[in-house]
Every structure is written in structure tokens, then in C-alpha cells.
Amino acid sequence: MADFTLPAPVSESDTEDSVRHVRVGWRVSKVLGAEITVVNCTETSAFPVYRDWETFGLPGMKVKWEYALEKAGQLGHVAYRHGKLECTFESPDDQQRFAEIWRRHIGKMPVFEPC
């Protein structure tokens, strides 16, 4: 959405138990970037891979995005499933700026609901 390419992710932690594998890392930095958490099941691919992104350092806003990648019936095909997108804005102008970027890249205006 931002019209630029992020540098490669930096892994911060990588833990695994008998049920799940959790990786936490960063794109760019902790000052200006995104923390990414990826959770997948170690026992089966029948459960989706969960991905959570949380932004840091964006002017006037914080964005948290939860989604999952699931098998789509055929080997190698994955379906995207949106979970939740939470945005916190410092001002109405910041919310409008986000909405315009969203509209430009997604094709429609977002609908905001109070938390």
C-alpha cells in the first residue's frame, strides 16, 4: 500500500513446542516498521497459518492486522482469510489520510467502526 519495498525481515524469536511454531520478527526497525508474528501448527497443515502485523512509527496512526492463510482445497493453493484490522488515529486528518491510501490501493473507502 505504501508504494515501496520493505527490507528483508529480521527474526527476533523462533519457538516451537509439540503443537505450534511461533516466529516473531521485524520489517525495517522497532522505531519505524512492523512487528510480525507467524503462528503455525507443527502437527498438521489442516490449521491455518496465522499472521499478525503491528506497525510502529507511522505518523498519526497505529495499525494492527490479523489474518490467516489456509489450504484452499488443492495442494499449493492458499486462501487468505482476514481476521481483524484495528487502526488507532491521533486525529481525524490521520484517519482521512489512511482512508485515501486504502481507497487508492483497495478500490473502495474503508468503513470505520468504534472499538
Tens-binned pLDDT, residue by residue, of the chain (115 aa) = 556 676 788 889 999 999 999 999 998 888 889 999 999 998 887 788 999 999 999 999 999 999 998 877 666 667 888 889 999 999 999 999 999 999 999 899 999 988 7
Domain residue limits, the chain = 10-106
- Which of 69, 90, 81, 82 shows the shortest CA–CA distance to 110? 82
Contacts of 73 (CB under 8 A, 6+ apart): none
In this prediction, residue 80 carries a pLDDT of 82
Burial of 74 (C-beta count, 10 Å sphere; 0-12/13-18/19+): exposed
All 3 cell numbers of residue 29?
A: 526497525
In this prediction, residue 2 carries a pLDDT of 56
Main-chain phi, psi angles of 36, to 5 degrees: -120, 130
Residue with cell 490449521: 47
pTM: 0.77
